[in-house]
């Protein structure tokens, strides 16, 4: 399972949706990707000459694959879809070589690439297409070498998965992943072809939409040596010095005092300012079952700028989600906006209500952005 850890790390990095750079190296090559908002803006390493040949153009001095595709497209009036499509195929070949090499290396940093004008490539779509297209299952096996790996949805699962627009069958499969079943159990328990399910799981793990955990090994029983200890020795070991007990008690008193000051101190003006600068939204639906999550996915595709999803209880492994409309600085503002919620977004029989979304629950990609 150690073999897949760098792939999983790369997937989690992709799912963060933060600007940064990734250098992927393998036995036969290297590629450096500059990524913003889940899209590749630059790709150094692949042979630009291959792109020139594919597009039947004259050579270019550009070393960045995507910059070369944009330049050749403008210079020779090649349709953007054709130029970037050729670049994506070359990029996917490099990603394939990296995934397949057991000696792959990965270096990540937060150095943001320059934002570019023109076409870019979704790194999530490129990887998902790559894994799903490999019907041999070899790439999927590199991503999930052990069928006993436990799968769970990432914290931003719905926001990352919805733009893929996969089939309803795929929606049903991934909506049923709750963090308690292994990749093999999910594949074997599905009505669909097990190998196809494993490819889907691997594609989503490679992009961080699903997260994999190594299977836990059963704890081996320890054979403790038998040692005879006198009763007097046991009593001595259990005694704590009086000074230590007093010191601990004093420390607890100080901690309680500090907490009281933090929780109840300050003035009313400060609290009033905080109350008016929160993040409140209108809950239009809540669900826990796979069909509920499918319905939320469809709504998110219709209203990507207004809707977001948060876990019902982010402090545990809860699989229930709330679908929230809008973001407002106070409860009063959110309540005043309830009448403006489009009726098509509210599930029949559901009573809309207002909640405050904490920093742990909030999804930074929910309002605006996306693919």
186 lies in a domain?
yes
Residues 144 and 239 in one domain: no
225 lies in a domain?
no
226 lies in a domain?
no
Residues 190 and 86 in one domain: yes
Contact 153, 174 (CB under 8 A): yes
Note down the domain range covering 292.
279-356
Q: Which helix (H) or strand (E) covers residue 352, if one does? A: none
Residues 268 and 295 in one domain: no
CATH of the domain at 352: 3.30.70
Residues 91 and 193 in one domain: yes
Residues 188 and 243 in one domain: no
Tell me what pLDDT residue 354 has: 92
Task: Give the model confidence (pLDDT) of 11-36 as tens digits.
Answer: 999 999 999 999 999 999 999 999 99
Tell me what pLDDT residue 363 has: 46
Tell me what pLDDT residue 299 has: 79
- Please give the tally of structural domains in the chain: 3
Residues 190 and 97 in one domain: yes
Contact 335, 356 (CB under 8 A): no
Residue 43 bridge partners (DSSP): 33
Using 70 as the pLDDT threshold, list the residues of the chain that sit under it: 1-2, 216-277, 301-302, 304, 313-319, 359-371
Distance CA 77, CA 182 (A): 49
Distance CA 120, CA 136 (A): 29
- DSSP H helical ranges for the chain: 5-16, 48-55, 65-75, 80-100, 123-133, 138-143, 157-161, 168-175, 183-188, 194-206, 231-238, 242-264, 268-275, 290-302, 331-336
Residue 184 bridge partners (DSSP): none
Residues 97 and 164 in one domain: yes
Residues 182 and 314 in one domain: no
269 lies in a domain?
yes
Both tokens assigned to 321: 């989600």
Q: What are phi and psi of 323, to 5 degrees?
A: -100, 120
If you ran DSSP here, which 8-state letter would residue 77 be given?
T
Q: Which helix (H) or strand (E) covers residue 353, if one does? A: strand 353-356
371 lies in a domain?
no
Tell me what pLDDT residue 306 has: 84
Contact 367, 303 (CB under 8 A): no
Residues 202 and 250 in one domain: no
Output the CA torsion sign for 242, 244, 250, 255. Answer: negative
Contact 79, 11 (CB under 8 A): no
Tell me what pLDDT residue 165 has: 86
Residues 149 and 298 in one domain: no
Distance CA 149, CA 217 (A): 11
Residues 145 and 127 in one domain: yes
Contact 255, 136 (CB under 8 A): no
Contact 131, 204 (CB under 8 A): no
Residues 25 and 166 in one domain: yes
């Amino acid at each position: 399972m150690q073999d897949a850890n760098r792939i999983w790390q790369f997937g989690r990095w992709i799912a963060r949706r933060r600007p940064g750079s990734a250098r992927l190296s393998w036995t036969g090559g290297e590629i450096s990707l500059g990524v913003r908002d889940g899209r590749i803006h630059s790709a150094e390493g692949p042979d630009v000459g291959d792109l020139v040949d594919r597009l039947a153009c004259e050579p270019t001095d550009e070393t960045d694959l995507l910059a070369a595709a944009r330049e050749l497209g403008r210079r020779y009036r090649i349709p953007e879809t054709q130029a970037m499509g050729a670049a994506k195929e070359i990029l996917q070949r490099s990603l394939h070589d990296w995934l397949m090499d057991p000696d792959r290396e990965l270096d990540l940093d937060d150095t943001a690439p320059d934002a570019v004008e023109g076409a870019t490539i979704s790194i999530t779509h490129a990887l998902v297409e790559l894994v799903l297209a490999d019907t041999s299952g070899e790439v999927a096996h590199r991503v999930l070498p052990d069928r006993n790996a436990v799968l769970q949805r990432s914290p931003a699962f719905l926001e990352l998965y919805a733009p893929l627009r996969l089939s309803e069958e795929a929606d049903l499969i991934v909506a049923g992943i709750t963090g308690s079943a292994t990749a093999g159990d999910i594949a074997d328990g599905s009505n669909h072809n097990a190998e196809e399910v494993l490819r889907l799981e691997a594609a989503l793990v490679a992009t961080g939409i699903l997260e994999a955990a190594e299977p836990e090994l059963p704890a081996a029983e320890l054979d403790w040596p038998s040692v005879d200890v006198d009763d007097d020795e046991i009593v001595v070991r259990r005694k704590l010095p009086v000074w230590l007990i007093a010191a601990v008690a004093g420390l607890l008193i100080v901690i309680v005092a500090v907490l009281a000051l933090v929780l109840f101190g300050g003035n009313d003006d400060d609290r009033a300012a905080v109350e008016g600068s929160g993040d409140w939204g209108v809950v239009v639906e809540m669900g826990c079952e796979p069909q509920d999550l499918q319905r939320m996915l469809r709504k998110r595709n219709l209203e990507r700028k207004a809707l977001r999803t948060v876990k019902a209880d982010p402090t545990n492994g809860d699989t229930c989600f709330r679908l929230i409309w809008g973001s407002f600085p106070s409860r009063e503002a959110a309540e005043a906006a309830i009448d403006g919620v489009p009726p098509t977004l509210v599930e029949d029989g559901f009573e809309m209500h207002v909640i405050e979304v904490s920093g742990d629950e909030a999804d930074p990609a929910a309002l605006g952005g996306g693919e």
